[in-house]
Amino acid sequence: MIPAPFGYKRPGTLAEALALLREHGEDARLLSGGHSLLPLLKARLARPGVLIDIARIPGLSGITETAGGLRIGALTTHHEVEASPLVREACPLLAEAAGRIGDVQVRNRGTIGGSAAHADPASDYPAALLALEAALVASSPDGTRSIPAAGFFTGPYESALKPGEILTAVEVPSPPRGSGEAYLKAAQQASGFAVCGVAALVVPGPGGTIASARVGVTGVAAPAYRARKTEEALAGKPASPDALRRAAALAAEGVEPLDDFYASADFRRQLARVYAERALAEALRRAKG
Amino acid sequence: MASIPEAPKFIGVPIKRRDDPRLIQGRARYVDDFQLPGTLHMAFARSPYGHAAIRGVDLSKARAAPGVVAAYAGADLAGKIGPVPVAGLVPDARVPVQPVLAGGRALFAGEPVAAVVARTRYQARDAADLVEVDYQALDAVVDLEKALAPAAPRVHAQFEDNVAFRWAIAGGDIEAGLRAADVVIKQKIANPRVVPLALEPRGVLAHYLPGEDKMTIWSSTQVPHKLRTLLAQQIGMAENRIRVIAPEVGGGFGSKLNVYREEALAAYVTRELGRPVKWIESRGENFLATIHGRGQLGEAEMGLRRDGTITALRYNVLADCGAYYQLLTVAIFTLTGLMLPGPYKIPHIEMKVTGVFTHKMATDAYRGAGRPEATYILERMLDLAALELGMDPAEIRRKNFPAKAEFPYATSAGLTYDSGDYHAALDKALQKAGYPEMRRQQAEARRQGRCLGVGLSTYVEICGMGPSAALGGQGWESARVRVEPTGKVTVFSGASPHGQGQETSFAQIAADAFGIAVEDVEVIHGDTDVVPYGVGTFGSRGTVVGGSAVVFARDKVRDKMARFAAMRFEADAADIAFAGGKVFVRSAPEKSAPFARIAQMAYDAIQLPPGTEPGLEETHFFEPPNFTFPFGTHVVLVEVDPQTGEVKILRYVAVDDVGNMINPLLVRGQIHGGIAQGAGQALEEEVIYGGGGQPLNATLMHYALPKAHQLPRFELDHTTTPTSVNPLGAKGVGEAGTIGSTPAVVNAVLDALAPFGVHHLDMPLRPEKIWRAVSRARKGGPA
């Protein structure tokens, strides 16, 4: 498993990295943790001319509190997200999703920015980022822009990043007060990627009702999506098991599920329904707890 | 007055493996760790098609690539390297000639079509991409039943159809047995292809020295001597000029019990170029071009009386050979026939095998090799029968066991099981599992709408391979034992352990006889220039046959040493004893000398009477008179989620009887690994082919191996029924876990699904398959 020849650049600053990206254009790929890119290189499914290794650029890593939530540097590893007391306190859903990625080795190397930018339709983060209504911050020589998660994941391995842009941070707003959250996943037995991963965020309302709910679904279709019909069916409704089941039944409405040797489209629909129901129930339980 | 020293015994003690520290610390040396100056690296262009005509191979760009020293296509090697060796054939088998590189047609995806040799591994790999092959894709034969249709494309044009061989075994009178039955259960059962997936892929480093006309080959192999003999013939070089070294080998599971094309090519190229040549298999190549295991699709028919007594078993099976045979492709399927009666008294059996050529890599030995397939058939059929007859699965098994007093027991397949106590293992396993409580727990769970299942498997194996009559003349194993002048002991084994831990267990065997510390024994294996000619490690034979050879060689040396000590002490040799690092006279223990002193004496001929042969070194070739027959009972509790099809193994209880244990820690390790591997086949593993013959899941991203977090803590125990076939009373344990676990796990899942009327599903029991079966059953109502 030997990659095709490639050049290697290691810029010291974000500005240098952006300049290199501009110089090499589509011939270049950014390297951070390498856990998506290196397997592709080794299988010779990707043959970039140049790798721009941004892994050691200062300032792109780490988790800080902001006025409205958290800012997570793109180079922050999955393990750092999973283990961060800040994340666990402020948005446990993201820590839970990070903890379900791959295995310990993957979580120690893989980064949140790399994972998001790679936009694998079976990766775990998108479900949580969608449910949390996070934003992804991209830098280019022209400046910085913030892209809502709902508009960031555009297709299988496709994101809203433009050529020449580097994803530098993820901004996660604090979830509504009193909400409960859960990320549940059916993992592909070989890869550990999500065949279906559901991130649910439930805000209880008065009198045993659900004020609002957000449901992010990954692995079922490309790209990951918000199960809006499920969310709508829950808003203002009693938080009964029946209501959850009826709403969860809509979790794959209007999407065209992926279909492969491991799981057919029908099965993915079924998993979306079951996992949505269970994730909602668990989120609700945690909200009450 | 001196007392007789306490004799510490090492046999039976759970000593830690001595190879573990180097393996864990990354200090073990595998083939790829051997670096010779000037080494050239080989890479292959392989067919991306299951079946294709090769209209031309253009090597010009590859040859012009940086660092490339040579490149070969099939035509370049015609007549220069013999075909890949095959053995263990049955009469009238059609034997296709397997070339080292494909000629006019590529017959499976991954078949090597061209080889490139370059100065670095990277250059070789890049140049292999530059080989231009003009392929014309052709229809591929993937499905076993379709392969036999009259219109099916032929894998080999010289044969009139895709039948590779036909073989049958029968005992008793199958028709009479089925007529005598009150019920006859029929089921079509598949045992899909799986990948052995040794953690270390294959690899070879071949180094020819022109000045000496000698060649050394480092290969990741289970059978160094077999490799040497067969390769010598294949490349036309004198066997005694070739040295094969199997250095650290990172697992084999049967997949390295073979001689592969790449090994022959490396040996050929190093001789042609006079430089070392290395090829290290990539994981991708390992999926495509190393043998696969299993690959059976059969119909079983079991006749029983109302009381559960089995009257007959018939099994008609299609055997997936692949495009070419590897070394033991055909033989593996015949082992299924020998194993067919299993641990049960089945007076009438019949198995008819039709070997089928397909556009796939060959199947061959994979942990259990033919025997798990038989056990699987039996255990599935017994569960179906129990269901039909309204019997408990434990009771129907108990009913059909031969009693302890019936051993030696002659089976209808023609084998004689020398010893066994199947009831004892079953009872112990049921007790350990708390079987009645498990059933109560299951009933309670069902009331709550949860799906718990209990699965049993009772098995016997054919191990300790084996008598030479059954193994093409080579069922023996060799050992040489030398007591060095300093009193250290060196054991040279013809077996070739590759993870089994016999560096430790053979030292235990030697240390006990000499009364010395186990640390003073060194075990050498895997070097044909150093160890006596050996057969190798497979078929749960390493300790059983190889360890027995150590016993005999060790005793020969000890007897000679006793004679020397008797001279020194003016005592009778029969009165000499070894213990506590001393050699002494049993009847007069004050007459003693350190073990090393007597050892030194044996090499100092001046101290020996004239006419005495000096030295302390003896060799023994042990020929086992029969196979060994380990047995056991596995009990599994699973929970199935009917909405998602996910299976969770809640408990795993195994009681295995492997006879006397040399090192119980190694035994447990083997059973742990075996259970995991067998459970993997039950739940996850299968090579899936597309219509063109390309495997769709030939990467570790897509092909699931069982992982630690999917498995519960194993609850192990044993019964001990020694065998009289060898001096150790050991029966072998390498394959027990895999043989017992696959049917136990499948039976548990199907027991969980019984309320839905789902009584059989083929492996692997992946979530979607289970969910679909449950959904179908729910739509159609209870069956």
B776 touches chain A (CB under 8 A): no
Distance between CA A116 and CA A223 in Å, rounded?
12
B700 touches chain A (CB under 8 A): yes
Distance between CA B232 and CA B397 in Å, rounded?
49
A192: nearest CA partner in chain B: B701
Question: Concatenated DSSP letters for B348-399?
Answer: EEEEEEEEEE-SSPPB---TTTTHHHHHHHHHHHHHHHHHHHT--HHHHHHH
Distance from CA of A249 to the nearest CA of B (A): 13
- A-to-B residue pairs, Cβ atoms closer than 8 angstroms: 58
Distance from CA of B256 to the nearest CA of A (A): 20
B646: nearest CA partner in chain A: A186
Task: Determine what percent of chain A is predicted with pLDDT higher than 70.
Answer: 100
pLDDT of residue B4: 55
Answer for the pair B108, B322: CB distance below 8 angstroms, yes or no: yes
pLDDT, mean of residues A235-259: 96
Q: Do B125 and A263 touch (CB under 8 A)?
A: no
Give the largest CA-CA distance in chain B.
92
Q: Is the pLDDT of residue B375 over 70?
A: yes
Q: Is B741 helix (H, G, I), strand (E, B) or coil?
A: helix
Chain A residues with CB-CB distance to B645 below 8 A: 267
Question: What backbone phi and psi angles, to 5 degrees, belong to B110?
Answer: 105, -5
Q: What is the pLDDT of residues A58-71, one digit of tens each?
A: 999 999 999 999 99
pLDDT of residue B610: 85
Distance between CA B364 and CA B260 in Å, rounded?
12
pLDDT, mean of residues B679-686: 98
Distance between CA B172 and CA B170 in Å, rounded?
7
Tell me the residues of chain B between 728 and 767 that have a Cβ less than 8 Å away from chain A: 766-767
- Tokens for B378, please give them: 């039996």
Q: Is the pLDDT of residue B85 over 50?
A: yes
pLDDT of residue A288: 78
ipTM, two decimals, is 0.96
Q: Do B126 and A271 touch (CB under 8 A)?
A: no
Distance from CA of A260 to the nearest CA of B (A): 10
Q: Is the pLDDT of residue B3 over 70?
A: no
Q: Do B644 and A191 touch (CB under 8 A)?
A: no
For helices B393-400 and B371-389, the axis angle rounded to 10 degrees is 120
Chain A residues with CB-CB distance to B643 below 8 A: 270, 274
pLDDT, mean of residues A148-152: 97
Distance between CA B459 and CA B457 in Å, rounded?
6
Chain A residues with CB-CB distance to B703 below 8 A: 190
Chain B residues with CB-CB distance to A188 below 8 A: 704
Answer for the pair B734, B543: CB distance below 8 angstroms, yes or no: no
Answer for the pair B301, B314: CB distance below 8 angstroms, yes or no: yes
Q: Do A190 and B702 touch (CB under 8 A)?
A: yes
pLDDT, mean of residues B607-623: 94
Chain B residues with CB-CB distance to A263 below 8 A: 767-768
**Where residue B1 falls among pLDDT bands split at 50, 70, 90?**
very low
**Where residue B780 falls among pLDDT bands split at 50, 70, 90?**
confident
Closest listed residue to residue A130, CA positions, set A215, A202, A72 = A215
For chain B, the C-alpha Rg in angstroms (whole number) is 28
Pick the residue of A244, A267, A269, A278 with the most B CBs within 10 A to test the interface with B by mutation. A267
Answer for the pair B571, B591: CB distance below 8 angstroms, yes or no: yes
Answer for the pair B268, B279: CB distance below 8 angstroms, yes or no: no
Q: Do B768 and A267 touch (CB under 8 A)?
A: yes
**CA-to-CA separations, A257 to A122, A266, B528, B694, in angstroms, rounded:** 12, 8, 57, 24
Instruction: Measure CB to CB from residue A270 to each of B683, B701, B771 and give the nearest one.
Output: B771
pLDDT, mean of residues B733-743: 96
State in Å, rounded, how far the first CA of chain B is from the last one.
82
Q: What is the pLDDT of residues B312-359, one digit of tens each?
A: 999 999 999 999 999 999 999 999 999 999 999 999 999 999 999 999
Q: Do A4 and B129 touch (CB under 8 A)?
A: yes
Chain A residues with CB-CB distance to B44 below 8 A: none
pLDDT, mean of residues B230-244: 97
Burial of B349 (0-12, 13-18, 19+ CB in 10 A): buried
Q: Mean pLDDT, chain B, as a whole number? A: 96
Q: Do A189 and B766 touch (CB under 8 A)?
A: yes
pLDDT, mean of residues B244-265: 98
Distance between CA A82 and CA A76 in Å, rounded?
10
Question: What backbone phi and psi angles, to 5 degrees, belong to B621?
Answer: -110, 115
B643 touches chain A (CB under 8 A): yes
Please state whether the peptide bond connecting residue B466 to the residue before it is cis, i.e. omega within 30 degrees of 0.
Answer: yes
Distance between CA B637 and CA B634 in Å, rounded?
10
Tokens 């798990």 found at:
B372
pLDDT, mean of residues B700-726: 95
pTM of the predicted model as reported, rounded to 2 decimal places: 0.97
Distance between CA A188 and CA B701 in Å, rounded?
9
Q: Do A44 and B283 touch (CB under 8 A)?
A: no
Distance between CA B378 and CA B369 in Å, rounded?
16
Distance between CA A269 and CA A256 in Å, rounded?
9
Instruction: Measure CB to CB from residue A1 to each of B283, B697, B771 and give the nearest one.
Output: B283
DSSP label at B751? H
Query: Would you state the torsion angle of the CA atoms of residues A108, A109, A114, A116, taken in this order, to the nearest 10 degrees?
Result: -30
Closest listed residue to residue B632, CA positions, set B548, B528, B743 = B743
Q: Is the pLDDT of residue A28 over 70?
A: yes
Q: Is the pLDDT of residue B596 over 70?
A: yes
Alpha helices in B236-277 (DSSP H): 261-273
**Where residue B782 falls among pLDDT bands split at 50, 70, 90?**
very low
Answer for the pair A284, A202: CB distance below 8 angstroms, yes or no: yes
**DSSP-derived pairing of the beta strands A7-9 and A50-53:** parallel
Distance between CA A139 and CA A12 in Å, rounded?
16
B129 touches chain A (CB under 8 A): yes
Q: Do B125 and A2 touch (CB under 8 A)?
A: yes
Q: Do B700 and A186 touch (CB under 8 A)?
A: no
Closest listed residue to residue B460, CA positions, set B250, B652, B731 = B731
Who's near B657: CB < 8 A, 6+ residues apart? Answer: B420, B421, B424, B425, B630, B631, B632, B718, B719, B720, B721, B731
Query: Would you state the torsion angle of the CA atoms of residues A151, A157, A162, A168, taken in this order, to the nearest 10 degrees?
Result: 80
pLDDT, mean of residues A69-90: 97
pLDDT, mean of residues B646-659: 98
Residue B602: Cβ within 10 Å count: 24
Q: What is the pLDDT of residues B114-133, one digit of tens each?
A: 999 999 999 999 999 999 99
DSSP label at A236? T
Closest listed residue to residue A224, CA positions, set A214, A216, A232, A236 = A216
Q: What is the pLDDT of residues B5-15, one digit of tens each?
A: 555 689 999 99
Give the residue numbers in A contacting B (CB under 8 Å), as ranges: 1-2, 4-5, 39, 43-44, 186, 188-191, 261-264, 267, 270-271, 274-275
B687: nearest CA partner in chain A: A261
Chain B residues with CB-CB distance to A270 below 8 A: 643-644, 771
Distance between CA A250 and CA A267 in Å, rounded?
14
Q: What is the pLDDT of residues A98-118, one digit of tens each?
A: 999 999 999 999 999 999 999
Burial of B283 (0-12, 13-18, 19+ CB in 10 A): middle
Question: What backbone phi and psi angles, to 5 degrees, belong to B136?
Answer: -120, 110
Who's near A14: CB < 8 A, 6+ residues apart? Answer: A54, A57, A59, A60, A139, A166, A168
Tokens 């950014």 found at:
A30
pLDDT, mean of residues A155-179: 96
Q: Do B768 and A191 touch (CB under 8 A)?
A: no
**Where residue B779 falls among pLDDT bands split at 50, 70, 90?**
confident
For chain A, the C-alpha Rg in angstroms (whole number) is 19
Instruction: Measure CB to CB from residue A190 to each of B126, B644, B704 and give the nearest one.
Output: B704
Answer for the pair A69, A92: CB distance below 8 angstroms, yes or no: no
pLDDT, mean of residues B277-288: 97
**Where residue B783 falls among pLDDT bands split at 50, 70, 90?**
very low
pLDDT, mean of residues A82-103: 96
pLDDT of residue A1: 83
